[in-house]
Structure 1
């Protein structure tokens, strides 16, 4: 590490205690971004509460966070979300921030794929965020309140077979932009996180498929980025109540010129899509996190 980088890291570590004492609720905290963020925030003095559906993993993360309060919660069940958020907020003695991180992914061919993939993705990634915001909002509508929504570069750049995930993250972006305006009079702020392909199971299980490799001509679009810088960015956002964060750094440039970036994607992938779609017809895939049975809220297609 050069002197400049070392100085940057030392400077960040000096500012890290700014999250100390903050009461932060994290959804989807059993693994990936949620688990890593919970552990880092706890290490720097924040008080965290965790929710998710993988109870064994959640309990392990909670134990690593000083026996932090945690609950099983199906993010797609509005009544359950309301009950769990209220319960965890009461245990924390109030709420300063919520990190809407819970999400799933699965490849989908829009014309020939299973429509329940889109339904389930929207249930968790969009409705789950809305239910969380609705439940946590009254506790956060104060001058120190903060909402951090985990969106994705996929909200801006749309790839074949990732339409369900991209649609869900674009919807999260829209919810965040709207909520920012609606909360402004309370003093609370809203931040949006745009991440590329990070070193998590979401990337490897959700997008590392044979069909995707056939279309891309390689395993990933941009290469797997380390998780650490994204977690650092989330912590800084929670300390500063930032409007937008990205990881890796170049994501900000792609967001700035997103129409051009989409044109480049359209042009560069024009040759391999047919073969990839054919592979996707029979390739066995599942959601990145197995979902509980829940009633279908959308009309199934014939």
Structure 2
């Protein structure tokens, strides 16, 4: 920030899902604005690489956000080593696609666990920090929080859940001067989205969205927008900004999506069989490897 000291200068900021993608980009943006960044993710080596690339002081912790005991220990270690967090960005997330009836129940459940339960565990672990610092919690959500889509039932359910969770938490903590914001995102250029585009059904569904709604945005642009929201302690941040308008018509979206799906899904299925994708992206593969290792 030219000629201006960021309110993040000297603050401790925690980012989950920080090993790559949007989490990495948010961490870098926070660091560029003077924050000391605590990186949390599943992949120790990738986290160390991100830590080494940040413009300011940073440390990293390997943790599964669904492991309540581990997250509590990480929160305590961050307090001891860096100080209490003033900012927490709950970014860790997974996605899978395909027909609900053919989805693997364990994979479907894992998306809910990481995206929704993991966000709640993150908030629980760091709320003592935020109460001390009168800090700010940013929940990364999605257009899927507002309007659900076919073939993404676990992801849409989890993002609708985190939106409601964040609204509830904001009301609960307002009198204690802790801010809670929701980041509503559309398509962001991460490995998760690039992987989704390798599956014909998901690629076709995105192609049938209105032109503005199917655009993919650079991850650094999205991260910069989210960190500006952190600086302003915004109740909501939309990227792209036109997503704000969807709040005005969200009640009309389910019947519109249903009508379009009734018309388009049979046509797509004639060309491409519908199949479950499994967890998408390098983050999804890392989560699978990490869980298998912990089960040994």
TM-score (norm 1): 0.86
What is aligned with 1:293?
291
What is aligned with 2:101?
111
Structure 1: where are the runs of 5+ without partners? 1-11, 296-302
State how far apart, in whole Å, the 1-side matches of 2:29 and 2:257 are.
35
Paired residues in the alignment total 284
State how far apart, in whole Å, the 2-side matches of 1:283 and 1:119 are.
14
Offset from partner CA, 1:214-258 (integer Å, 9 cap, x none): 445559952212223321222112212111001011111112211
> Which structure's relative contact order is higher, taking Cα pairs within 8 Å and 6+ residues apart?
2
Question: Are 2:28 and 1:39 aligned?
Answer: yes
What is aligned with 2:125?
135
RMSD: 2.4
Give yes or no for contact 2:134–2:176 (8 Å, CA) kept in 1: no
What is aligned with 2:156?
166
State how far apart, in whole Å, the 1-side matches of 2:273 and 2:3 are.
48
SS at match of 2:180: strand
Deviation at 1:270, TM superposition (A): 2.2
Deviation at 1:40, TM superposition (A): 1.6
SS at match of 2:237: strand
What is aligned with 2:58?
68
TM-score (norm 2): 0.87
Question: Are 2:39 and 1:50 aligned?
Answer: yes
Segment drifting more, 210-219 vs 234-243: 210-219
Segment drifting more, 270-279 vs 229-238: 270-279
Give yes or no for contact 2:166–2:181 (8 Å, CA) kept in 1: yes
Deviation at 1:92, TM superposition (A): 1.4
State how far apart, in whole Å, the 1-side matches of 2:37 and 2:133 are.
20
Give yes or no for contact 1:16–1:235 (8 Å, CA) kept in 2: no
Give yes or no for contact 2:84–2:132 (8 Å, CA) kept in 1: no
Give yes or no for contact 2:98–2:274 (8 Å, CA) kept in 1: no
State how far apart, in whole Å, the 1-side matches of 2:151 and 2:4 are.
41
Q: Which has the higher helix share?
A: 2
What is aligned with 1:18?
7
Segment drifting more, 173-182 vs 252-261: 252-261
Of the three residues 76, 79, 82, the one matched with 1:86 is 76
What is aligned with 1:194?
184
Segment drifting more, 153-162 vs 211-220: 211-220
What is aligned with 1:266?
258
Structure 2: where are the runs of 5+ without partners? none
Question: Are 2:174 and 1:176 aligned?
Answer: no
Deviation at 1:188, TM superposition (A): 0.7
Give yes or no for contact 1:156–1:170 (8 Å, CA) kept in 2: yes
State how far apart, in whole Å, the 1-side matches of 2:231 and 2:156 are.
28
Segment drifting more, 271-280 vs 53-62: 271-280
